[in-house]
């Protein structure tokens, strides 16, 4: 059995916020799967618990806030985290962002328990040497640095100076069955679509790094020639008000909708005709895998792991990051050709089914947890390497 020996173990997931996002998704998946394996899970947030706690609460998994103050290192929050982990009998700490790692590593050292770190992206590192040095130092205190793509793993070694012996790759995966049934009619009605209209969508945070402004500009160019096209942004972020104002100013107030963050992503994906990922930087986005699993035609920036998943013209369309003109051209072609959308969508689902099933991801983490927690696993080769 994969991950044998986890029964009775106690593992804490540490992340800044609980809301809707890729890192938060992984935290939930891991916490629930550990419970299925007989372990006990704890989720600790250091900044806020905003939303999306139902999957944890349904399983009786404790999620708690240890509020940190905005400073380099809040010693009071660190002490509270350490006390909490000791009281819960935690045997392993798994951090999911660099700021959380800054608390997990010293807490792990005080308690004498191992620390893991999953890095979901690196846009915050590439332009800041101090951040890369901070990561290199903190990774001296982790048992394994888990990267969600080979590209991130290579950068951690080459650019950040992390020892390759500490680095492992476990790519994200999604539940294929959740995205198999379509079910997007209700979402399309919610978006006000009529028969014959086509829905383009972005699912993700409305922040600069995700490129929503690039998508809006591309849609402005498309909408003038394709009156049946509609656009929906599913997610929240600091750019939402600015984007809403721009849509109105460009005369698209009736064609562009903003739904905010929401939990019914299978229904959202089922309702789209085209999914767009206009990101300027990525690791391995869950939204990409979910859209492909739902059989959607995808137009995505050629950044991070995306070109390793999407074969241009075969299972989706790849565009230069930040190029609104190229994205507009791709959208025009996709919206004008239903056969092309269907062909790309079918191929996309096959790619995810073959390589990115959630069970494979969770089994790899189970094996890593069991290996790290087992004396026999120290220094031993494992399949997640």
Find the CATH number of the domain harbouring 280: 3.40.50.2000
Domain that holds residue 250: 176-355
Q: Is 364 helix (H, G, I), strand (E, B) or coil?
A: helix
For tokens 């130092």, what's the residue? Answer: 137
Residue 159 lies inside a defined structural domain of this protein: yes
The answer to whether 283 and 259 have CB atoms below 8 angstroms apart is: no
pLDDT in 10s for each residue of the chain, 385 residues: 676 789 999 999 999 999 998 999 999 999 999 999 999 999 999 999 999 899 999 999 999 999 999 998 999 999 999 999 999 999 999 999 999 999 999 999 999 999 999 999 988 787 788 899 999 999 999 999 999 999 999 999 999 999 999 999 999 999 999 998 767 999 999 999 999 999 999 999 999 999 999 999 999 999 999 999 999 999 999 999 999 999 999 999 899 999 999 999 999 999 999 999 999 999 999 999 999 999 999 999 999 999 999 999 999 999 999 999 999 999 999 999 999 999 999 999 999 999 999 999 999 999 999 999 995 344 333 334 3
Same domain, 48 and 93: yes
Contacts of 204 (CB under 8 A, 6+ apart): 210, 212, 234, 235, 277, 279, 285, 287
Same domain, 366 and 246: no
The size of the chain, in residues, is 385
The answer to whether 320 and 342 have CB atoms below 8 angstroms apart is: no
Cα 145 from Cα 136, distance rounded (Å) = 11
Same domain, 107 and 223: no
Same domain, 198 and 57: no
DSSP 141-210: G-SEEEESSHHHHHHHHHTT---GGGEEE----B-GGGGSS---HHHHHHTT--TT-EEEEEES--SGGG
Residue 259: how many other CB atoms lie within 10 Å: 17
The confidence score (pLDDT) of residue 284 equals 95
Same domain, 155 and 33: yes
Tell me the β-bridge partners of 40: 10
CA angle 45/103/363 to nearest 5° reads 65
Same domain, 26 and 168: yes
Residue 2 lies inside a defined structural domain of this protein: no
Residue 25 lies inside a defined structural domain of this protein: yes
Q: Is 8 helix (H, G, I), strand (E, B) or coil?
A: coil
Same domain, 185 and 74: no
Cα 293 from Cα 357, distance rounded (Å) = 9
Cα 219 from Cα 223, distance rounded (Å) = 6
pTM: 0.91
Same domain, 21 and 146: yes
The confidence score (pLDDT) of residue 379 equals 39
Residue 4 lies inside a defined structural domain of this protein: no
Residue 385 lies inside a defined structural domain of this protein: no
Q: Which residues of 121-153 are buried (b: 16+ CB within 10 A; e: fewer)?
A: bbbebeeeeeebebbeebbebbbbbbbbbebbb
Same domain, 114 and 65: yes
Same domain, 203 and 312: yes
HSE on the CB side for 331, CA within 13 Å?
Answer: 36
HSE on the CB side for 248, CA within 13 Å?
Answer: 6
Q: Is 358 helix (H, G, I), strand (E, B) or coil?
A: helix
Residue 236 lies inside a defined structural domain of this protein: yes
The confidence score (pLDDT) of residue 383 equals 37
> In Å, what is the CA distance from 323 to each residue of 72, 146, 281, 318, 329?
36, 31, 13, 11, 10
How many domains, the chain? 2
Which residue from 151, 112, 115, 119 is spatially nearest to 135, judged by alpha carbons? Answer: 119
Which residue from 160, 7, 30, 165 is spatially nearest to 93, judged by alpha carbons? Answer: 30
Cα 216 from Cα 168, distance rounded (Å) = 37
Same domain, 41 and 53: yes
Same domain, 163 and 183: no
């Amino acid at each position: 059995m994969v991950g044998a020996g986890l029964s009775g173990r106690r593992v804490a997931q540490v992340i800044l916020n609980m809301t809707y996002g890729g890192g938060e998704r992984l935290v939930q998946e891991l916490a629930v799967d550990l419970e299925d394996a007989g372990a006990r899970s704890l989720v600790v947030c250091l900044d806020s618990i905003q939303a999306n706690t139902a999957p944890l609460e349904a399983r009786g998994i404790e999620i708690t806030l240890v509020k940190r103050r905005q400073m380099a290192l809040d010693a009071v929050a660190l002490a509270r985290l350490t006390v909490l982990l000791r009281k819960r009998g935690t045997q392993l700490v798994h951090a999911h962002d660099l700021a959380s790692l800054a608390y997990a590593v010293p807490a792990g050292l005080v308690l004498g328990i191992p620390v893991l770190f999953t890095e979901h992206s690196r846009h915050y590192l590439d332009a800041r040497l101090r951040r890369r040095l901070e990561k290199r130092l903190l990774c001296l205190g982790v048992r394994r640095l888990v990267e969600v793509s080979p590209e991130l793993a290579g950068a951690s070694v080459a650019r950040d100076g992390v020892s390759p012996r500490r680095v492992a790759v476990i790519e994200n995966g999604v539940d294929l069955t959740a995205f198999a049934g379509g079910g997007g009619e209700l979402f399309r009605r919610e978006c006000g679509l009529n028969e014959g209209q086509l829905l383009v969508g972005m699912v993700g945070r409305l922040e600069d790094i995700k490129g929503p402004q690039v998508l809006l500009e591309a849609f402005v160019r498309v909408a003038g020639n394709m009156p049946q096209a509609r656009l929906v942004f599913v997610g929240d972020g600091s750019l939402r008000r600015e984007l809403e104002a721009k849509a109105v100013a460009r005369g698209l107030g009736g064609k562009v909708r903003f739904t905010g963050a929401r939990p019914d992503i299978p229904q959202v994906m089922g309702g789209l005709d085209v999914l767009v990922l206009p990101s300027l930087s990525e690791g391995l986005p869950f939204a990409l895998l979910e859209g492909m699993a739902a059989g959607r035609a995808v137009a995505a920036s050629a950044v991070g792991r995306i070109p390793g998943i999407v074969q241009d013209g075969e299972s989706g369309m790849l565009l230069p990051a930040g190029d609104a003109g190229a994205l507009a051209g791709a959208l025009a072609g996709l919206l004008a050709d239903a056969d092309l959308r269907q062909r790309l969508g079918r191929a996309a689902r096959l790619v995810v089914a073959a390589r990115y099933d959630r069970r494979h991801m969770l089994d790899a983490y189970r094996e890593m947890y069991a290996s790290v927690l087992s004396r026999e696993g120290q220094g031993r080769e494992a399949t997640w390497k």
